[in-house]
Amino acid sequence: MAILRGEQGSVKFEASGGTLAAIAGTRSWTLNITKETLDTTKHGESSRTFVGSMISGSGTVELVFDTGDTSQTGFIEDVLTATDAADAAFELFTTGSSADTNSLTFNGIITSADISSTAGDLVVVTCNFITSGDITSNL
């Protein structure tokens, strides 16, 4: 059994059609995947039955802020694109950073960015996103 530690993960991102780049300072990421279900129970049946339906996802990426990292500022500033075409590419890695390996890939939209500055602590940015289209697993 292979055990993975959280510090082995990473995030790559590209706002619109370029090459995915590693986001420096990534502290954590989460991806919540939801599959809707449709009730297929017929009249007269005493137990419910279901089939799977639409799949969607949402999540967060938490960063230790680095003003000199352009990939990080591009990631954070994607929330400022009002007419977002949902063409931002994400790749979330459980370990390493080799394309299409130990990762989940999808297009999405950054929906919010929370920037916090606390005395005696690092400046941390948490970006929330939703997926758009297929989510591909390379785990």
Quote the tokens at residue 47: 């137990």
pLDDT score for 68: 84
8 contacts: CB under 8 Å, gap ≥ 6: 94, 95, 96
pTM metric for this prediction: 0.87
In a domain, 120, yes or no: yes
CATH number for the domain spanning 76: value is 2.30.110
Q: Considering its fold, how many domains does the chain have in total?
A: 1
Q: Write the burial class of residue 127 (CB in 10 Å: 0-12 exposed, 13-18 middle, 19+ buried).
A: buried
> Which residue range(s) make up the domain with 84?
9-137
Query: pLDDT below 70 — which residues of the chain?
Result: 1-2, 6
Which two tokens mark 112? 């919010």
